[in-house]
Structure 1
Amino acid sequence: MATIIQPRICKLTKQEGQAFGFFLRVEKDTDGHLIRSIVKESPAEQAGMRDGDRVLRVNDTFVDKDDHHQVVEKIKTYGNQVTFVVLDDVSYVNAKKQGSDLIEISNLNSKFIQPVINGVNGKTAQPKLCYLVKESSGYGFSLKSTEGIPGLFITEVSSIGVAAEAGVQLNDRLIELNGENVENFTHEQVVSKIKGAEDYIVLLLVDEESDKYFKNKKITIVAPMASVKNLPYQPRVADITKGPDGYGFYLRDEQGHQGISHYIRDIDPDSPAEKSGLVDGDCLVAVNGDDADQLEHEALVEKIKKCGSRTTFLVADSQTHELYKKAGISPICYWNEVCKPHRHQELEIETPNQTTEAGEEQRFKLRHIFKGDEGYGFILDSTEGVQKKFIKQVVAGSPAEKAGLEENDVLIEVNGVNVEGDTYDELVRRINQSGDRLSMLVIGREEYNLHEMKKIPTNSFLSSAETPELASPAAQTEEQSDGQLDGQSDKQSDRQIDKQMEESNSEEPIADSPPEENKERAESISSSSPEEESDDDTQM
């Protein structure tokens, strides 16, 4: 009987200057590109790579038949994030014997593939927050402790109780109760706390498989790591486009559930604020994904001004704020989990009338990036002789990442001007002159390569691409505890966010541009060949 062959997906992410933590080898009398010498706690180990695995694909490119150095160059090209499709040693040997089609079974859409994320097969290792409202019969679960085994575990979950509805499962381990860590509490202490709670409780739990993963990696489980998708009350996203009279609300600092917070007040009828769904008393959690609680009132007002004519707020009503406080987390966790991975998709430009010969839609992406204290947060590839301009690196947590810019995106336009013919220096100069906001039209590298292969001019797909209106730095505000965002210009002009934006032609170099003398940004890879005639060995 044929052996079941099941490739795995391993997604590796490393920091700049860090290695992936494995050697890629070609060994004498052994087929394939082998994974060897995996470094403990490295990105390779955390992604689920195993010694002896064979690399079948690198970012969806089949490489099993490629030369060793070709594979190394492919890996280098993709920078700090690379997706590998691998097959364990025994399965690889058996697949060769059976004459299996490795190209087909390693396809990223193949039914054979088993995802490995954070080292846990088929799922992400993650704790969970469960919100339980007490019924007359209780919460619908029991707790147990076992002598010699630390921790308290969920048992006897009622199938029709509130615990099951909230996502509580058998053998989940209890980490926190109402934001307080109870891992070292006795059974009696935890039961007493549950009985003494109000009509609802918030539990931080971890399932059995994820718990093993975190213990193996020596990772302390805390509430901000948890998924918030199951919580009954969630923050709201409000996309606001500024009107002729401004946004139409006041921003005030007030005492809230967690100290001084920023609150939406005095919303004008039929204003952009009201139409976006803002409600009087909403707490402003984030502006364009940046945590508002980290900013003083004046700095937050200035940030909103710099957003230009459109901005995105994350807000929470009092009930939501209270729930997140009880869970021991900030509502910004909702943005990081639910909104951040998908917000950039709304800016993608679809051109349904333009297709490749295969009938596939081509999609350009328009990215609006607001400059931060450390620059925009991306590095351009500066390799000499490379005509196309692409993004070499996107700094984690930077404005570029928050705007949806991705590594290996190919740059087509900057502020509505085509830059495909620009030199590296001309492109850097153009970006420097953009002030505090930059608009970039980009396309994924693979789609760009498809354009070149099909000899399709990129400008033939840009007819529907709007030229973005750039926002320049806002004027300074007076020190207040109350900032009006409605554009009125009478006695309250000292506390409003101005409609007029000042022009800026800053010549300050962008912090994230590579220095002039450093034309080669590709990181070095040390290579050695213990047996030059047969073995290749490259540290990744």
Structure 2
Amino acid sequence: MGKNHAMTSSRGLVGDVGLTEKFTFNPKEGIDNPVMVITDDADSVWTPIPRMCVLKREDEEIYGFHLRVERGHQGHIIRNVVSGGVAERSGLRDGDRLLEVNNCYIDDVPHTEVARKIKMSGHQICLLVLDGEDYEQVASRGLDLKSLARAHMDENCKPPRLCHITRDPDSGLGINFTPLEGQRGRFTVSLVAGGAAEKAGVCKGDRLVWINGAVVSNLTHSALNKMMKKCGDHITILVIDSESEKRYMQRRLPILPSMAIPHKLPHRARKLHLISAAEGFGFLLRLEKVPSGRTYHILREMTGGSRAERAGMRDGELLLEVNGESVESLKHEEVVDRVRLSGQEVYLTTITPQGLEFYTQLGLSPLLFCEDDAADKEKENIVPASAEENSPAKEMDVSSNLRLCSLQKGTLISQVGFKEVASEDSGQSAGLAVGDIVMKVNGQNVEEKSQEDVTVLVEEEGQFLSLLVTDETSYKKLTETETPTKDVTHTEEEENEISAL
């Protein structure tokens, strides 16, 4: 593709020159002749052009592609683009390399973080990609990918702002919206000087993009006024300055909350960094059903003076992530395994129940805007030398070789407790290696099960599997010591599962 692109560009360039200037060779001019320079060096000035793909899906749709990191290849690779799906219709092609997600450069970002950004973007996302062959050529020539990616952006184009406005007792919300003449669904902002909206980060002349989860391009001025009257003491709006809006429209790009800078949001998810002491992290993880009927992993009973308390953990908060991985679809035992297998330290992302409700009502992921408490608490969480000396070093060394691998079905169990992984199999990209011993399948211990029982279990567990594995040497050490994977304290009380961590 890259070669074809270069050839097409060269032919087009020569053709244009031929139409505007007839060339007769003059030996006195030699290689300084400008036409000769253009035609002979066309390949040397080859510059690949990234593509912006805007994907928009409905509630029950999927984007229809996989994002992979492959051995022997650089970059985040687009694979398995579904024929006729959202991704293909938006211009994504198999082998493309992903450079940006919602105007954020990600080529040098860890794969799990990139996948996280895509998942929390909601129903619409902007992906900047480069053709696979072009990407390989850029990498081989040592060109700057980041500069290439940013070249398509206007430096004067500012990001949108997500502003939460709380009514002032005297001046109210301090904001009004005026429709742009002859342009349905477009509104400009006027403010009360020093009022609530201005304090929340809204600027005079801003364009309104979105209000309380509703895109205003679909609203009449009358409908917008009705929304304002019903909003009560708070509204959350997405705004952008008029010049930047113009530039987005020229490039036919959506203005999304996932691109925004937050202002005065009442709730934010928090990232906590916990370092284990000899007695553990010092909190309980419970699986609880909330009044809405949904079930969540909830943090409870922080022990006084424990690592959890010192990290800022609060009773009743909901657990969203363990080490950057969402726990929403995981079983209780799988979440516990992820915490335990982190070893002496773990990163948790949490939010209050009120915070989750706030983002749910807006139709946004609570992970979009996180406060990083981990950095603030780092010094407090340093493990003293005495604690390190008293900790069971041998057990920690062994547990560090335990791995949780998530994958789709496709690999085959060849003998009890072992996993054979083909060179191109999905198991290898998930972290499995030939000869690994499988200890748990989706949280269920299989060490004592026969090959037939494990095979049946795998077939019954759906399309996706979470495998707890270790290498043969570490497994022998585990059987000789007190195995941390079997030391999971949990009971069941009226559908609740509780684990001490």
TM-score by length of 1: 0.47
Q: Which protein is richer in helix relative to its size? A: 2
TM-score of the pair, normalised by structure 2:
0.50
